[in-house]
């Protein structure tokens, strides 16, 4: 199957209208019967960084989209790969060109800035957009960011921890777009689950993580029994960190150096922790949680991609697969010449598990929860579940 699949996607790449010049069929010979007219094929644009600063991701994204077309596409439409150059202006130009050629859905672009440059014109033209960014601020009518957003990650960790009896949460993160989105998600999750208001510390992005941790340690420490003047938020049971890599290790070192007891304080972070083996060099991070994809679905996608292309997929490839698969489904279910039918409210199986498009551009994903383990791969501690299955 791998050879057949690879041949199919290579053929698709060869047909992609990126290279100037058009091949025309031979003219019919005299006396030969006229060929029946071929029905027009509906078109879906792929807005990809095939050049520019993110060019290394262009081909993996194209590969994943072609895999989705092979597995879930129908005969009535085709993909139009278009190069964004990795810039907002390039993405806007690529989107306009694709829509002028009849593209009914835009798959991509990659970044939040490119998405913002594309969304207005696409919305005016009634063309849905399925970008790869994880910036939830880009969500809106007919624009569904498919990257793993901070809100999705925070809510899954909080729900899993609450299921194990954790009630008091805290957050420490640099004061930026990521930290503010994590804070809003944590406050919203606590309110929806009937939990106490969380302790939130957003510190300057330029601050040393270890110093920020020392400042926060007293705020999350258990209060003395019956102390009427206990500081607000004392007694935090799980602290979420908006840091990764060496900065996460430094923050935790500062926390324990300031006297925080880890455990019983539990730590959690973001999905990028899955790709940083160095985190387990900090002993206090052993057992720390982070969200991630459904392991069974993710492993199956990696196997299919590797069989087709001879290499492991890039991290963002699964998002490109999902966007292309959703576009293929929408085009399959559209009436001839009618509007694409986006599967809003339906559960769809993607590269990393189940997902659901909601009105207003919000996307929900079924995420598992993993725990860091020194000297071993992170192990799932909670299964992949959609937010609707978690009661909020």
Rounded Cα distance, 28 and 31, in Å = 8
Tell me which of 30 and 14 has the higher pLDDT.
Answer: 30
* pLDDT tens readout for residues 198-224: 999 999 999 999 999 999 998 888 765
150-291+368-390 CATH fold: Rossmann fold (3.40.50)
Global pTM reads: 0.83
CB 294 within 8 A of CB 380: no
* DSSP tally for the chain: helices H, then strands E: 10, 14
Please state the length of the chain: 392
* pLDDT tens readout for residues 334-344: 655 567 888 99
Rounded Cα distance, 353 and 153, in Å = 14
Nearest CA to 190 among 224, 237, 223, 146?
237
Give me the mean pLDDT over the 161-188 stretch.
95
Tell me which of 281 and 336 has the higher pLDDT.
Answer: 281
Four-residue CA torsion sign, 25, 29, 30, 35: negative
Confidence of residue 174 (pLDDT cuts 50, 70, 90): very high
As beta bridge partners, residue 199 has: 170
Residues with Cβ within 8 Å of residue 315, at least 6 apart in sequence? 275
Domains of the chain, by residue range, sit at 2-6+40-147+316-361, 150-291+368-390
CB 240 within 8 A of CB 190: no
Give me the mean pLDDT over the 80-108 stretch.
95
Which runs of E-coded beta strand occur in 247-319?
266-268, 289-292
CB 290 within 8 A of CB 344: no
* pLDDT tens readout for residues 53-77: 999 999 999 999 999 988 887 667 7
For residue 233, what pLDDT is reported?
43
Q: Is the pLDDT of residue 300 over 60?
A: yes
Beta-strand pair 353-357/363-365: antiparallel
Domain 2-6+40-147+316-361 identical in fold to domain 150-291+368-390: yes
Beta-strand pair 347-350/353-357: antiparallel
CATH 3.40.190.10 fits 2-6+40-147+316-361, yes or no: no
For residue 227, what pLDDT is reported?
47
Give me the helices (H) in 23-149, please: 58-72, 88-100, 112-124
Rounded Cα distance, 390 and 384, in Å = 11
Which tokens in the block code for residue 228?
């009427």
């Amino acid at each position: 199957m791998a050879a057949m699949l690879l041949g199919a996607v290579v053929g698709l790449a060869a047909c992609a209208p990126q290279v100037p010049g058009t091949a025309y069929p031979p003219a019919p010979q005299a006396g030969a019967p006229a060929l029946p007219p071929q029905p027009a094929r509906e078109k879906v644009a792929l807005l990809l960084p095939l050049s520019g600063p993110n060019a290394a991701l262009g081909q993996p994204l194209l590969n994943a989209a072609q895999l989705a077309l092979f597995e879930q596409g129908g005969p009535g439409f085709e993909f139009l790969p278009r190069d964004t150059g990795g810039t907002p202006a390039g993405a806007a130009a690529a989107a306009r060109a694709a829509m002028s050629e009849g593209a009914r859905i835009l798959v991509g672009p990659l970044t939040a800035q490119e998405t913002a440059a594309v969304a207005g014109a696409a919305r005016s033209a009634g063309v849905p957009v399925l970008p790869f960014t994880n910036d939830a601020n880009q969500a809106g009518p007919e624009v569904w960011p498919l990257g793993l957003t901070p809100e999705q990650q925070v809510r899954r960790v909080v729900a899993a921890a609450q299921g194990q009896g954790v009630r008091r949460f805290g957050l420490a993160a640099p004061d930026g777009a990521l930290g503010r989105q994590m804070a809003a998600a944590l406050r919203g999750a606590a309110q929806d689950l009937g939990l106490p208001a969380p302790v939130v510390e957003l510190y300057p992005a330029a601050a040393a993580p270890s110093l920020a941790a020392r400042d926060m340690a007293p705020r999350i420490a258990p209060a003395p029994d019956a102390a009427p003047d206990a500081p607000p938020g004392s007694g935090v049971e799980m602290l979420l960190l908006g840091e990764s890599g060496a900065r996460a290790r430094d923050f935790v070192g500062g926390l324990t150096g300031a006297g925080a007891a880890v455990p019983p304080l539990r730590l959690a972070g973001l999905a990028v922790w899955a790709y940083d083996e160095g985190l387990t060099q900090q002993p206090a991070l052993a057992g720390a949680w982070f969200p991630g994809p459904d392991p069974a679905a993710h492993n199956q996608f990696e196997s299919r991609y590797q069989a087709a292309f001879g290499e492991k997929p890039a991290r963002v490839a699964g998002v490109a697969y999902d966007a292309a698969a959703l576009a293929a489904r929408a085009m399959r279910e559209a009436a001839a010449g009618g509007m694409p039918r986006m599967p809003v409210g339906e559960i769809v199986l993607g590269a990393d598990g189940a997902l659901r498009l909601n009105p207003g551009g919000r996307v929900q994903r079924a995420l598992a929860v993993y725990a860091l383990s020194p000297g071993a791969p992170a192990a799932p501690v909670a299964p992949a579940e959609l937010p609707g299955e978690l009661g909020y």
